[in-house]
Structure 1
Amino acid sequence: MPRKKVPTRKNDTVDVMNHDGSRIINLNKLQEHLQVISRHAATCQSCADNTLSGNEPIVLVGVKDHQGLCSILTSRCASCHEEFQFATSSRVQGLSGGQYWECNLAAVWGQMATGGGHAPLTESMAVLGLPSLTKKAFMAIEKRIGDWWRTLLNESMKQAGEEEKAIALSKDSRYDIPRITVIVDGGWSKRAHKHSYNAKSGVGIIIGKETGKILFMGVRNKYCAVCHNTSGGTIPEHTCFLNWDQSSSAMETDIIVEGFCQSETQHGLHYAEFIGDGDSSVHPTLVRKVPYGTLIKKVECANHAVKCFCGTLESLVLDKPSYKGRGKLTEAMRKRLTKSACCAIIMRSQELNKVEAVKKLQRDLVNIPLHCFGCHSKCSPDLCKTAQKNQQQTQEQQEQQQQQLPPTNMGAMANNTVEDGTNDTIHNITSGLNDVITTQAQAWADATDNEGLDDTRSNFTTNLCESWMHIRTKFDGGKQINRSQSGSWGGRCAGAGLRCNEGAGWGPSMWKTAVCTEPSDVFKLAAANAVKRTDNDRKRKASADAKLQRKKARYSTTSVDTA
C-alpha cells in the first residue's frame, strides 16, 4: 500500500499508510481511543507545538492486524513518535466461554438468520471496502452460534411444554399425565420434486396445538465432511454430525417417534392425538414403539387430503390420455374438482354431529364428479346452489298443487333442471373418478371425523408446521446451498425454532442471552419493527374484509375450460 510523508516540527517525516477502504468501528471503542490521544496531545509539548505550526499532531500509521471485520489500527504522535493502538471492536464471551470479536459474531449471526454464508458476506464486504472473515473463521463462529441456538431452543421448548401442560390441566384434570394434541411434520435439506428422495439431512418437529410453539425438534444427518474426506488412517477428533444411515424418507418417522417417546420425561405430557399429513407409516410406528402408543390417535390433515386428491387427478390424466381435451379433465376442471372437495370438507367440519357429518362428507365426495360435470340431481342443497334452487322450486310446485293452483314458472324450472344422464365420454370420466374417490373416501372422512378433539370446528391442518418450514427456508437459504456437510443446517434449524417460539423479535433477547452483552439500539429497533409488521399483518388478516376475500377465493368455482 503506498505511503506518504507527514512533516513534523523538526522537519523530519513519518511514513503514513494511505487510508484505503473502510472499517467497522464500535463508537465506544472510538471514544476510548480519542480520550487516549487527547490526553497525550494535552501533555506532550512537542505535539502542542506541532499543532500550532499547522502540522498534523497525530497521524494514522495504518492497520497493524485485522481479524475478520475487526482491525487493530495504529496511530502515532508526529513529534515524539509514541504509538497508540486500538481495536475497532470489543471482545465478548459467549455461553460456552472463549473470546470473540463482537463484529465477527454479529456478521455471522446476521448471515445465518438471513440464509447467507461466507461467500455472500465476503462479496458484500468487498464492495464496501471491508476485509472479511476467512472461511475457516466463519465456519468456526457459525458452529459456535449453532451450539448456542440449540441450547437456547432446548430452554424455549421446555417453557413451551410447561405452557401446554398448564392449559391441559385447566381443561381436563382427570389424567395423572396430561394429554394434549400436537401437530407433526418433517422436512429435508433439498427438494425432492417427487422423484429424488436422497437428501443428506432431515428435520422433524412437534408443535403444541394450543400454544403453537415447538415442543420437540430433531435433525438427522447422513453425511459428515470430516469422516467422508478422511481416506484411511485415523479420523481426526471432531464434532461428528453423522447420526443416520438409513433412507432419507425414513428420517421423519424416526424423529417423530423419538419426540413422542421423550414427551413424558421432557415435558410430563402424553401426546394423545396428533395432526399429521398422509404419511401412513408414522401412526403404526408410534403405536408399536411409544410406551403409551395405544392411546395415540391420528387426525388427518385436511389440506393434505385435498392435495392427495389433486395429485391423483394429475396422475389419472397422465395414465389415460383419453381424459385429456375439451370438455374433459382439463386443468380448469381439475382445479374445480379440487376446490369442490375442499369446500365439502370445510362445510362438513362445521357440523356438530360428527357421525352424521362423516356420512354426508362421503356422499358429497363421491358426488363431486357429477356435480362438476353438470349433473346436480344427487347434490346436497347446502353445498350446491343449483340443487338448492331446484329444491325450492319443487317445494313451490308441491304447495301450488296442494292449493290446486297452476304453476307460476314451470318453464324456468324446466330450464334449471339438469338431466341425470350424461354423454358416454363424461360418463366414463365420472366413473373413473368415482373409482379413485371411493378408495380415498374413508381417508378424507378422517380429515373431519375428530370427535375426540374438544373443538367446535374440526377442519384441522398442519399449517403451523408448514409455516415453520417456510421460516426455516429463510435461515437455510431456501434449500439452494448444501449446508449438510458440517452441521450448519442443524444450527440454522435451531435458529428457525427460536424464531417460531420467541416471535419476530427473537433476535435481541437471544443475543443478550447467548453473547452476554447488551444488543445495540439499532438491533432492538429492527426487531421492534419486525414485531410491528407481524402484528399489522395479523390484524389485517383478521379483519372482516380479509376474511371475506379469503372466503370468496375458497368458494369461487373455476369455470370449465371450453377451448
Structure 2
Amino acid sequence: MFVQFYTMGRTKKYLGTSTSRNPKTNTRAKRAKEAWVERRKKATESIGSKVAQPIAECSHILYTVEDRDEPQTATERVISDVVMDTMDTTARNDSQSDTSDLTLLPSTSTGKGYEGTESSITRPELSRKVYPGAKKPTASAAASRSEFGIMSSMEYESIMSHQLTVESENPPPEAITGNRIVEVGYFAQQIINAQYEHMKICTFGKLHLYNEYNRGMGLVSCIILKCASCDREFKIFTENPNKQSSSLIDQSTMNIGSVWGTIASGGSYSHMCEYLSALDIPVMHGSLFYQLEDQLGEIWKESLWKSMKAAGLKEKENAIANGNLCNDGIPWITVYLDGSWSKRSYGHNYNALSGMVAIIGKYTKKILYLGVRNRYCSVCARGENESADIKMHHCFKNWNKSAPAMEADMVVEGFCQSENTHGVRYGKFIADGDSSTFAKIKTNVPYGSTVKKVECTNHALKNYGKHLHKIKSDTKINLSGRRLLTVEKIKLLTKRAKASIYEHANAEMSVSFLRKDLEIGFLHVFGDHSNCRVNICNTVGDVSNNAVPQLKATSMYDHINGALELLIRKANLLIENENNNAAECLMNIVSRFNMGKRVNLVQRGSYERRVYLAALRYNKAFEWPISPWKNVTGATIGENYQQFIKTNMAIKDSKVRRRLVQKKVSLKRKNIVKPVTKIDTTAYGPSAEQPEEEEQNIEEECQRLIQHLHVEENEIPAIAEATMGQFFNDVYIKFKERRLTASNFGRVVKRRPYTPCHGIVKQCLGKNIFSTEATEYGISKESVAIKAFEKKQSVTVTNTGLWIHKDYGFLGASPDGMFLNC
C-alpha cells in the first residue's frame, strides 16, 4: 500500500518523476528538484519545524506494507488519515507562503527511490501491548535523511528510540493442554466458518484459543475462539450437537459410544479412565457413565427380547414340521440349559451375590429364556447399615435365598413361561448334573412329569476323572495301591468310558449294555481282557498283564469302582451322547463381559446389564450392534465399526485361529483363614437333590449291585484275613459299607411296614463310626472278655475280619474272633 500526500488544492504530487499525466505537476516537481540546494537551509527552518517532525514521529509507524501480511486495523487507518491530513495542510500553507514544494523522504523500498519511483510511507506491525520503537530503516535510508538535511542522525535516532503506545490488545489465556476426541469434518468446517465470519467484521485481529467448556458434557468440549482486537467470541463444539435430535438417549454419540465400547470390550469405568488418561484426554464423570450404562442396558434388553421371540418361533415351526407334539397338540422341543454365578466357586465356595440361567434351543442354538437373580442392592444395604430411610431407586435385588438355589428357581421359571412366551414345551433338556434342577422341574412345572433329562457327556466324564485324581492323591489309601493308578491310567479310563458311550449312542443299544461295557472297560485298562468284546479289544482273553488282583489286595479296586459307579448310575442319561457345549459357549461370553468374574459388578446392576449384552452377542454373533445402535442413535453404525464387524466375520468364516500356548505356573498363595459359612448343599453340587429313579432303572440297578457284591467262595477267607482290625482297617470299611452285617440285620427284618427306613439306611451307609461311652467301654474290655472266654471254654480264639455270605454277597458278619477247636 502506498500512502500519497496532497498539496495545492488536493492535487496529487510525487517525488521525482511522477506517473501523473498532469504537466503542471511534473513541472513543479522538476522545479523543486532544481531549487533544492539553494533552499536547503530555508527548508530546514520552515518545513523542518512544521513537516519534518510529524513525518519523523510517524516514520516508525508507517513503513512499507510489503513487510507485513496482516490487514490494517481501525486504529491504524485513523493514524494514517491523520498523518496525511496534517501533511496536506502543512504543505498547502507552505505553498501559499512562497516556499518550496513539499518534499518527502526517499522510500526504503526497493526501486529507484527519489529519481524514478513513487515514494511511500508505510506502517509498522503492532505488538501486543507496548510498541517500544518502530522498525528501523536501513543505514542507507538514515544517511539519505541526513544528506537531505531534514534532521540530523542524532535527532533521527532519538525519534526512533522513542516509545510509542499505539493500542492495547487483550492478553490470551493460558493454552488449552492435552488431546481431545473430535468429529473431524464438523470441527474443521466450524473453524473455517468462524474465521470467515470474523473477517467480515475485523480485518486485522487473529482468532485465538481462549477457553474450553465441558462441564457435564462428557467427552464433548466447547472450544471458545476469541479475537485479540475486537473481542468477538466464537463457540465451536468437538461434535455436532444436532445428532442428539434422533437419539433415544439425550447424550452425544461420542459419550454413548465410549460407554458402549467400554462394556462391550469387557471393561469398566476405571478401565476407561485409565485408558483416556494415558491418551491425555479428559474423562467423563462417573455419574454420567453409570447413567448411560443403565439406559443402554434397557435397550440391549429390549433387543434381546426380540431376538428370543424370533428364535422361539423358529423352534416351534421346526417342532411342528417334525411331528414333535404332546398329547394335547402343543409342540415340544429339546433345549440346553446351564447357569452361572457372578463369582467363581472353585467347587466349594457357593456364596455369590448374583447368578444367571439360560435356556437355549437345540435347533436354532439361540437363547429362548434368560434369567438373572440378585441378592444384593447397594442402596438398600447402605440404608440398612446407617439406619436411615431408603430413598426411591431402581432396586436390583430379587432373591433372598441361598446362591445354590438360584439355578433351579430360574430354570423352573423358564419352563413355566415356555408356553406363554413361545407356545412350546421343553420336553427334553440337556444339562450337567450339578444341581437339583431336574427334581425341581418334576415337582414345580405343570408338565414336569413328561420332561426328560439327558446328561452332558463331557461333564460326566470330567467328574469321573476328577474323582480318580482325588483317589490318587488320597494319602489314607495304601501307597502301593495308589502307585497302580497313574495319570496315564486315569486318561485311559476316561477315554475308554467315552468310547463306550459314543459306540452305544450310535448303535442305539440298550442302557444295560452300556453299563456292562463301562464295567468291562475298567478291567480292560488294568489288563483283564477275559470279558472284553472283539470289536473293542485286540487281545481278548489275555490276562498276562492283569493288575486287578493287586488292586483288590490294596483296596484300590473298590475306590476306583466306587468312582465308576457314579458314572454307571447315569448310563440311562448318557446313552444319547449329548453335550452342553452351546450353553458353555454362552457362559464363556458372559465371563468375558464380566471381566472373568474377578470384579464385583453386582452393586449397581452392572452384572445384569452385562448378561443381557452377552446374550445378545451370542444370539446375533458379530452383527449384534447393528440393530440396537440404530435404536439408540437413530443412525447406522460408523464406517470403522462396520469394518470391524466385517473383519471379525471373515475370521470366523475362515476359521483362522491362532492358539497361544501358555505354560501353567502354579503359584503358592499364602493361606488366609476366612470365616466359614454354612452352605446349602442340597441345591447344588454332588449332594444336590435328585429326582426319584424310574422303577425299571431301580430294579436293574439292584440286580447289578447284588451281582457286584457277590464273591467267590474261595475268596471269602482271604477277605476275612485282609479285613482284620475292623474299623481300624480301611479295607474292612470298604467291604462293609455296602453290605448288611449282623449288627443291623435284626433292625431290618423286624422293621414294621409303616416305619420309615431312612434312619436305618443312613446308619448302615454312614461312614462315621457310631461311638458312645458304652461302646468305648466294650472295645477297651474286648480283649479281657476274649481271654475269659478262652479259659472257661478251653479254646483258642483268633482275630478275624469280615466274613461274607457265600450265596448272598450283600450279607456279612464281623465277629470279635473265631476258634477252631471245639
Tell me the TM-score range normalised by the shorter chain: 0.7 to 0.9
The 3 A distance-change label for structure 1 pair 331 and 238 is same
The 3 A distance-change label for structure 1 pair 238 and 474 is same
Match of 1:350 among 501, 506, 512: 506
* Structure 2 letter corresponding to 1:69: L
The 3 A distance-change label for structure 1 pair 304 and 145 is same
Tell me if 1:309 matches 2:464.
yes
Task: Give, in whole Å, the separation in 2 of the partners of 1:421 and 1:519.
Answer: 67
1:218 — aligned with what? 371
Using the TM superposition, give the Cα deviation of residue 264 of structure 1 relative to its aligned residue in structure 2, in angstroms: 0.5
1:26 — aligned with what? 183
Using the TM superposition, give the Cα deviation of residue 144 of structure 1 relative to its aligned residue in structure 2, in angstroms: 1.4
2:397 — aligned with what? 242
Task: Give, in whole Å, the separation in 1 of the partners of 2:571 and 2:463.
Answer: 10
Match of 1:58 among 193, 207, 231: 207
Does structure 2 conserve the Cα–Cα contact (< 8 Å) formed by 1:377 and 1:420? no
* Structure 2 letter corresponding to 1:438: E
SS in 2 for 1:350: helix
Using the TM superposition, give the Cα deviation of residue 24 of structure 1 relative to its aligned residue in structure 2, in angstroms: 0.3
Using the TM superposition, give the Cα deviation of residue 518 of structure 1 relative to its aligned residue in structure 2, in angstroms: 2.2
In angstroms, what is the RMSD of aligned CA positions?
2.6
1:208 — aligned with what? 361
Does structure 2 conserve the Cα–Cα contact (< 8 Å) formed by 1:177 and 1:270? yes
2:561 — aligned with what? 434
Using the TM superposition, give the Cα deviation of residue 429 of structure 1 relative to its aligned residue in structure 2, in angstroms: 2.3
After TM superposition, list the pairs within 5 Å mapping 1:398-409 onto structure 2: none
The 3 A distance-change label for structure 1 pair 280 and 75 is closer
Q: Which runs of 5+ in 1 are unaligned?
A: 51-56, 391-415, 449-457, 542-563
Deviates more, 1:103-112 or 1:241-250: 103-112
2:640 — aligned with what? 522
* Structure 2 letter corresponding to 1:220: R
Match of 1:446 among 555, 567, 573: 573
Does structure 2 conserve the Cα–Cα contact (< 8 Å) formed by 1:165 and 1:178? yes
1:295 — aligned with what? 450
SS in 2 for 1:99: coil
Task: Give, in whole Å, the separation in 2 of the partners of 1:438 and 1:290.
Answer: 30
* Structure 1 letter corresponding to 2:305: N
Q: Which structure carries more relative contact order (alpha carbon 8 Å, separation 6+)?
A: 1
SS in 2 for 1:30: helix
SS in 1 for 2:224: strand
Task: Give, in whole Å, the separation in 2 of the partners of 1:309 and 1:345.
Answer: 13
Q: Which runs of 4+ in 1 moved over 6 A?
A: 538-541
2:733 — aligned with what? none
* Structure 2 letter corresponding to 1:122: C
Task: Give, in whole Å, the separation in 1 of the partners of 2:321 and 2:564.
Answer: 41
Match of 1:111 among 235, 247, 262: 262
- 1:186-238 CA-partner distances (Å, limit 9, x unpaired): 00000001111000000000000000000000000000000001122321010
Scaled by the length of structure 2, the TM-score of the pair is: 0.56
* Structure 2 letter corresponding to 1:424: Q
Number of aligned pairs? 490
* % identity of equivalent residues: 33
* Structure 1 letter corresponding to 2:557: T
Using the TM superposition, give the Cα deviation of residue 435 of structure 1 relative to its aligned residue in structure 2, in angstroms: 3.4
Deviates more, 1:258-267 or 1:33-42: 33-42
Using the TM superposition, give the Cα deviation of residue 540 of structure 1 relative to its aligned residue in structure 2, in angstroms: 11
Tell me if 1:124 matches 2:275.
yes
Task: Give, in whole Å, the separation in 2 of the partners of 1:459 and 1:359.
Answer: 15
Using the TM superposition, give the Cα deviation of residue 386 of structure 1 relative to its aligned residue in structure 2, in angstroms: 3.4
Task: Give, in whole Å, the separation in 1 of the partners of 2:262 and 2:300.
Answer: 14
* Structure 1 letter corresponding to 2:228: A
Does structure 2 conserve the Cα–Cα contact (< 8 Å) formed by 1:114 and 1:477? no
SS in 2 for 1:433: helix
The 3 A distance-change label for structure 1 pair 193 and 119 is same
- 1:52-97 CA-partner distances (Å, limit 9, x unpaired): xxxxx32221312243211111112334222111222345559994
- 1:15-47 CA-partner distances (Å, limit 9, x unpaired): 143131100001243144134314314523x23
After TM superposition, list the pairs within 5 Å mapping 1:37-76 onto structure 2: 37-44=194-201, 46-47=202-203, 49-50=204-205, 57-66=206-215, 67-76=217-226
- 1:417-441 CA-partner distances (Å, limit 9, x unpaired): 6455744346542343223323431
Match of 1:153 among 289, 293, 304: 304
The 3 A distance-change label for structure 1 pair 491 and 23 is same
Q: Which runs of 5+ in 2 are unaligned?
A: 1-125, 130-165, 660-822
2:333 — aligned with what? 180
The 3 A distance-change label for structure 1 pair 94 and 166 is farther
1:82 — aligned with what? 232
Does structure 2 conserve the Cα–Cα contact (< 8 Å) formed by 1:208 and 1:214? yes
- 1:103-136 CA-partner distances (Å, limit 9, x unpaired): 1111111111121111111111111000112222
Q: Which has the higher helix share?
A: 1
SS in 2 for 1:322: coil
The 3 A distance-change label for structure 1 pair 41 and 90 is closer
The 3 A distance-change label for structure 1 pair 172 and 96 is farther
Task: Give, in whole Å, the separation in 2 of the partners of 1:217 and 1:489.
Answer: 13
Scaled by the length of structure 1, the TM-score of the pair is: 0.81
Match of 2:531 among 378, 394, 400: 378
* Structure 2 letter corresponding to 1:337: L
Task: Give, in whole Å, the separation in 1 of the partners of 2:583 and 2:558.
Answer: 36
Does structure 1 conserve the Cα–Cα contact (< 8 Å) formed by 2:244 and 2:250? yes
Using the TM superposition, give the Cα deviation of residue 248 of structure 1 relative to its aligned residue in structure 2, in angstroms: 0.2
The 3 A distance-change label for structure 1 pair 332 and 93 is farther
Does structure 1 conserve the Cα–Cα contact (< 8 Å) formed by 2:407 and 2:435? no
The 3 A distance-change label for structure 1 pair 298 and 97 is same
* Structure 2 letter corresponding to 1:274: F
